[in-house]
Structure 1
């Protein structure tokens, strides 16, 4: 997925904050250019892995995955905002490809030379309830992010939990070329309306949906933080 909408739209949101442009306007402009690239990316990846001739054998899958991703990326970026384009587009691309593969499959199976033989169980069946339960965290996340992107919800969350303050030493410390002080914006700590808060709440709500206890969830969370401690820093 192209990175402009990655991390629930963080690059777009930061661009809006530093430029004083509406994040929706930036989302719409990026959302009208990136879909062109999104159509090309699946073809590009398959050609790198298997070569151009082999890519022709799976062209229906390439077109379905690329076009569905591009369409929903454009639709979401232009009408829902910058937080969900790659999430919804990714899910739509997966579902579209699953539907295609129910009616079409490539004639030959391509594998890496060093890849071991596959031993997957192909006769396993899942009920609709099991499938819905497995997808529930992604569905919950989509709903939460949509809610967080609504302006009334964002304003209400900022009214309850938002801190703005100037970083000491910066206000008079940066000068323009003519010697006049550069106007520094206050640091905006919107800890409730931040999309990361929506993701955290989604994770907590999803624990019982996928059959995990809150104790197990806390243990997994701490293990993840420990594993990613250096990237976090």
Structure 2
């Protein structure tokens, strides 16, 4: 019974090809019925749980996505985005290499700073501007948004797991740092290049894809193990970018022009995505002034100004998350609100009131609010008129209207399942497999992230369960909690929330089911690889690979 809402949303999306918001609404209705009829939850509490989840979906999650896309739109209006494209073009004009650099490395940097769908939204429109078709751009950025997710939003998923389990989050992060780098190593070569240009692209670009993946993986392992969970993805993303620049100074792949021509032909065969952020304008503008010409005209000052928004974001988020005085000042403004009619009325198995019925309104400390402040500064520095910035603000809200509905509904579904006991039922069922649980453990994180769209939420749902199940099965709790986090990273690409964000960003809203069908296979393959890795890490075969703690 507890699986019915999950089965509903997957069947409606992948099988019947419903639009994401209708699939989410239907699944929410199933979850409410199951909560009331099968789990004995009072109707009013089930509905109130849904309202709290919906509000959480809108703020902070969609608030982060909305402000990230608006900031991007400000760069487009200013004309500086063309310089950013040209700067990436200076590194390589090969679309297969650009896919790795933008979707994987630059997307990893955005994941490190904001998370919650912002990387998919921003890199999706950037891929469109390079000439990718909408569907291909969306699939590439969804698949690329994997390995960085565990350490996304300045390490929030791992910090959440540590807070709930009592295990020092640095220790959990160190174990995750011995799992997700495997994904970081294989995703650029075996997935991204293949998705862009098939086996031919892999054969022609494997050296640079290998170098970027290896640099990202090693840096992620090193930072997670010896440096800082909060800085892991920032270090890894920058290492990948530096490796790309260094490699391409001495070697360039063949076939880039032919690959670009194939992509442009595919783009012209698809319906134009004129309502996407950035629309088709950037791609059409290259007909009049090629990227090569613009790149040749770039000066150091223009290049710095093109990267200004992202450098500013790095500074702002680093100060807000890592400088204790500012971090405490921002979090002091948070307002904890006991959800009316719900708070104190939902109990856990020990008879204690659960804490998730208290809504935390992060009006100032939210990454979305920090992105808004950054966007205002960027608009001022770029001398974008206030009227133009406001038009982009309202226009972005209009374009994201269905994404708002979908994400709010998916989080409502997650809250109903969580507070009614459906989620813990599914988790306990899987945990009852004993020693085999080591193989199945990542599936819990995968499911949690697939439903909520957030690895943080997946850890909030299952981290404690993973810890308890590990202790009962005689397994290492560090390993199982880390496996929950790592499993979640490959579930994000099929989350209805993320699918909607990607589809909306590239202007194909309503085609989420197509994106789901194109990504579900890759998600399952990567999940099985993680399951095998974690299982072997729980045995003498690969136990040496996992750090130990007293």
Give the alignment's TM-score, normalised by structure 2.
0.37
Shift of 1:205: 1.3
Shift of 1:142: 0.5
1:157 aligns with 330
Q: In 1, distance between residues paired with 2:187 and 2:204? A: 17
Shift of 1:181: 4.3
Greater RCO (Cα-Cα under 8 Å, separation 6 or more) = 2
Q: 1:166 aligns with which of 338, 347, 350?
A: 338
Alignment of 1:6-17 (within 5 A): 6=152, 9=155, 11-12=157-158, 15=161
Q: In 1, distance between residues paired with 2:321 and 2:241? A: 24
Residues 211 and 243 in structure 2, CA contact (< 8 A), matched pair in contact too: yes
1:182 aligns with 353
The structure in which a higher percent of residues are helix is 2
Give the alignment's TM-score, normalised by structure 1.
0.78
- The C-alpha deviation readout for 1:63-87, integer Å capped at 9, x for no partner, is 22212322444455563444x6445
1:47 aligns with 194
2:228 is equivalent to residue 58 of structure 1: no
2:388 is equivalent to residue 216 of structure 1: yes
2:214 aligns with 67
2:181 aligns with 35
1:94 aligns with 241
Question: Which ranges of structure 2 fall in alignment gaps of 5 or more residues?
Answer: 1-144, 266-285, 406-550
Shift of 1:149: 1.2
Over aligned residue pairs, what C-alpha RMSD do you find?
3.2
1:204 aligns with 376
Moved over 6 A (4+): none
- The C-alpha deviation readout for 1:92-138, integer Å capped at 9, x for no partner, is 43343233223211233352784448964424321000000000111
Q: In 1, distance between residues paired with 2:379 and 2:223? A: 27
Q: Secondary structure of the equivalent of 1:165?
A: strand
Q: In 2, distance between residues paired with 1:129 and 1:113? A: 32
2:91 aligns with none
Greater alpha carbon shift after TM alignment, 15-24 vs 31-40 = 15-24
Q: In 1, distance between residues paired with 2:348 and 2:291? A: 66
Q: Secondary structure of the equivalent of 1:105?
A: coil
2:254 is equivalent to residue 107 of structure 1: yes
Residues 213 and 192 (structure 1), Cα distance of their counterparts in 2 relative to 1, 3 Å cut: same
Alignment of 1:75-154 (within 5 A): 77=224, 79-82=227-230, 85-86=232-233, 89-109=236-256, 110-111=258-259, 114-116=262-264, 120-123=290-293, 124-150=296-322, 151-154=324-327
Question: Which ranges of structure 1 fall in alignment gaps of 5 or more residues?
Answer: none
Q: In 2, distance between residues paired with 1:205 and 1:24? A: 34
Q: In 1, distance between residues paired with 2:238 and 2:196? A: 23
Q: In 2, distance between residues paired with 1:48 and 1:229? A: 29
